[in-house]
Amino acid sequence: MTAIHVDKLTKQFGDFTAVDAISFDIKKGEIFGLLGPNGAGKTTTISILSTLLEPTSGTALVNGIDIQKNQDGVRKSIGIVFQDQSLDEELTAWENMDFHGRLYRIPKAVREERISDLLKLVELDDWKDKLVKTFSGGMRRRLEIARGLLHEPSVLFLDEPTLGLDPQTRNHLWDYIHTLNQTKGITIILTTHYMDEADRLCDRIAIIDRGTIIAMDTPEELKKKVGSDVVTVTSPDSERIATEVSAPWISGTEQHDGQVTIRLHDAEEHITELIRLFGDHGYAITSVSIHQPTLEDVFLHYTGKTIRENEAGATDRMRMMMGRRH
């Protein structure tokens, strides 16, 4: 059963295209990731699907409900946690939850039972009477996720849920998100630019860059498409290596930021031959490393840049867009 259907969805701000005719389906109960650098179109897509932005063109259904024809129906069936905090710091955890429940007109007895259960789920029941301004970043994130679940949505949007959190807190939140999906069957749409987060959590991933989906599949299948092994070479001769080195067991090369990524089959068997090729050509080699493909390698394969390099480009594009709007 399809939870979300997106068909040629487009969003333009003036002459800047933030989302460019993207299409995809998300199955009910799936954890689906939108992976890409800041400014790639992830948050804009989430904002459209949650009815906070009107699309320029295209259509989308959330739980079978048209996002333009029945916005209230969509909003009642979804929960959402955005990057920017929306909790009231002068209220307690319980009061924040209670206020949200009242907005959704949840009867008092039902509301109180759900608040109690959800605060236990995110391990904040001992903090229910504490002011939110005393909470750590991770605690606030957990409370926002609990609040987003209070009205029992069938779809939960999480926009960069672990942004700015330390690794340990990120790990804890990953566990909560996975538990929610497994125990409650909630469909989760997650945006992130953390490769390990997407790899660990998501059933399928759409990689988005410059407003366009450039690849979509399970994490494992995406990594298989890159090749069996990846050799990363740091060298002042990286441009020459990328264009000059070839062999039947090399499936591709990408040069970026003083490094060359070489995709090849059976790296352990051919690494000696590869080093010999470097010597025959007289390349100066600073370092060589071998690893299994990661989603970072997938992103590099499809865009020719690492996600960090694309982050910088996306930031420049956003500045240009904001400059035109002022």
pLDDT digits (tens, 9 = 90+) for 204-257: 999 999 999 999 999 999 988 876 788 999 999 999 999 898 888 888 888 887
Global pTM reads 0.79
pLDDT digits (tens, 9 = 90+) for 47-92: 999 999 999 999 999 999 999 999 999 999 998 888 777 899 999 9
Find out whether 234 and 259 touch, Cβ atoms under 8 Å.
yes
CA distances from 246 to 94, 167, 224, 233, 242 (A): 63, 39, 21, 14, 9
Q: What residues does 5 pair with on adjacent strands?
A: 25, 61
CA distances from 84 to 15, 80, 130, 145, 158 (A): 26, 11, 21, 13, 11
Domains of the chain: 2-221 (3.40.50.300), 223-315 (3.30.70)
Residue 312 has pLDDT above 70, yes or no: no
Where does the pLDDT of residue 27 fall: very low under 50, low under 70, confident under 90, or very high at 90 and above? very high
Give the relative orientation of helices 137-149 and 167-184 as an angle to the nearest 10 degrees: 10
- The strand pair at 212-217 and 78-81 is best described as unpaired
pLDDT digits (tens, 9 = 90+) for 108-150: 999 999 999 989 888 899 999 999 999 998 899 889 988 988 8
Rounded to whole angstroms, how far apart are CA atoms 268 and 159?
Answer: 40
* Element at 321 (helix H, strand E): helix 307-325
Residue 198 has pLDDT above 80, yes or no: yes
Nearest to 241 by CA among 271, 290, 275, 265: 275
* Element at 262 (helix H, strand E): strand 259-264
Find out whether 202 and 46 touch, Cβ atoms under 8 Å.
no
The upper half-sphere exposure of residue 93, i.e. CA atoms within 13 Å in the direction of its Cβ, equals 25
Q: List the single range of 39-48, 163-172, 287-296, 308-317 with lowest mean pLDDT.
A: 308-317
Eight-state DSSP code of residue 51: T
